[in-house]
């Protein structure tokens, strides 16, 4: 398939999903489960090698995040399957990887239940995904069902996501999947403008990631002018963000200066009132007190 011929696909996704902003977008826009709804970006954290074994994290096809929910934690394990044809061993492989992760969690746990691990498969092949979603369907029912392992994973099959849905979802991940759905270079060039419009509202950081992705994955498939469109959008958004930051900083500085000036004015007025009270006690005429302190005669009479 057009997409499967690109060998660095797994590592490119690994790089992309190393950004928690991108992974949060992927999780909340493409996983239709209640527990991911309402998650904030800061609720997701990439798992590093200090927590799990290097063997588990060194595979280019594995991504593991910890998700913080109210009062509990959940781990999200994503297996990237970027082969041209479905692999019937996927349920067995995923269960093996999950068990390895549970082994790590078990060793680091002290007491109580182990945290839940949510398994996700991301497949971008051109052929339909015909592999069962539960490992139990691959095991002969020669013994009672209760002794047969049951393990299901959440499938995200790129070819099955309607383009209209991706256009509605928008964002960096949707734009990438939209481009990956194109069957040849000609189709890719025809849809690049649509993909760019889908990321128009992204922040400069995500635009830079998209620009890196495009340059890495599609440099030989797109014309230079198409690559330049992405780069120009990134540069413009970055420039605008810098301008906004400068304006906000100036606004903060002005706010501090105004606060200092207001404080000084309030202090001077307080001192003037104190002096006016003392002069009233000593019998100074109100007109003279007004001229000396700068307070109006009406203010002095109130004192």
Q: What is the pLDDT along the chain (303 residues), one digit of tens a residue?
A: 344 344 456 677 788 888 999 999 999 999 999 999 889 999 999 987 555 555 555 555 788 999 999 888 999 999 988 887 888 999 999 999 899 888 888 887 767 788 899 999 999 888 999 999 999 999 999 999 999 999 999 999 999 999 999 999 999 999 999 988 888 888 888 888 888 889 888 888 888 888 878 777 776 777 777 767 777 766 655 544 444 455 456 555 555 555 556 655 666 677 677 777 766 776 667 776 776 667 787 887 777
DSSP code, position 155:
E
* Separation of alpha carbons 82 and 20, rounded Å: 21
Q: Helix (H, G, I), strand (E, B), or coil: what is residue 14?
A: helix
Question: Cα(248)–Cα(252) distance, rounded to whole angstroms?
Answer: 6
Sheet with 62-69, edge to edge strand ranges: 44-46, 62-69, 72-81, 116-123, 154-157
What pLDDT sits at residue 6?
43
Residue 122 pLDDT: 94
Judge whether 98 and 49 are in contact, CB under 8 Å: no
> What pLDDT sits at residue 30?
96
Helix ranges (DSSP H) in the chain: 9-16, 20-30, 54-58, 90-108, 163-169, 172-180, 185-198, 204-217, 224-281, 286-293, 297-302
Q: What angle do CA 125, 126, 131 make, to 5 degrees?
A: 60
């Amino acid at each position: 398939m057009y997409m499967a011929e690109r060998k660095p696909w797994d590592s490119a996704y690994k790089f992309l999903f190393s950004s928690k902003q991108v992974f949060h977008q992927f999780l909340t826009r493409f996983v239709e489960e209640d527990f991911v709804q309402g998650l904030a970006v800061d609720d997701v954290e990439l798992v590093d090698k200090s927590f799990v074994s290097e063997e588990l994290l060194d595979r280019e096809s594995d991504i593991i995040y910890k998700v913080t929910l109210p009062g509990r934690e959940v781990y999200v394990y994503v297996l990237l399957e970027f082969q041209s044809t479905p692999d019937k061993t996927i349920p067995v492989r995923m269960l093996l990887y999950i068990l390895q992760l549970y082994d790590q969690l078990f060793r680091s746990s002290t007491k109580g239940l182990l945290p839940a691990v949510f398994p996700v498969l991301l497949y971008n092949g051109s052929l339909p995904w015909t592999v069962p979603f539960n490992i139990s369907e691959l095991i002969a029912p020669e013994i009672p069902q209760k002794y047969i392992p049951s393990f299901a994973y959440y499938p995200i099959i790129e070819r099955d996501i309607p383009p209209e849905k991706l256009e509605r979802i928008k964002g960096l991940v949707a734009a990438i999947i939209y481009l990956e759905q194109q069957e040849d270079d000609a189709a890719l060039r025809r849809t690049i403008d649509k993909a760019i419009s889908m990321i128009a509202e992204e922040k400069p950081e995500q635009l830079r990631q998209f620009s890196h992705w495009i340059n890495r994955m599609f440099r030989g498939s797109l014309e230079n002018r198409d690559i330049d469109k992405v780069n120009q959008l990134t540069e413009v958004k970055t420039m605008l963000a810098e301008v906004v930051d400068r304006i906000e900083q100036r606004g903060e500085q002005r706010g501090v200066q105004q606060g200092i000036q207001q404080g000084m004015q309030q202090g001077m007025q307080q001192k003037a009132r104190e002096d006016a009270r003392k002069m009233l006690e000593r019998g100074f005429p109100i007109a003279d007190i007004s001229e000396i302190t700068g307070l109006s005669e009406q203010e002095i009479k109130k004192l």
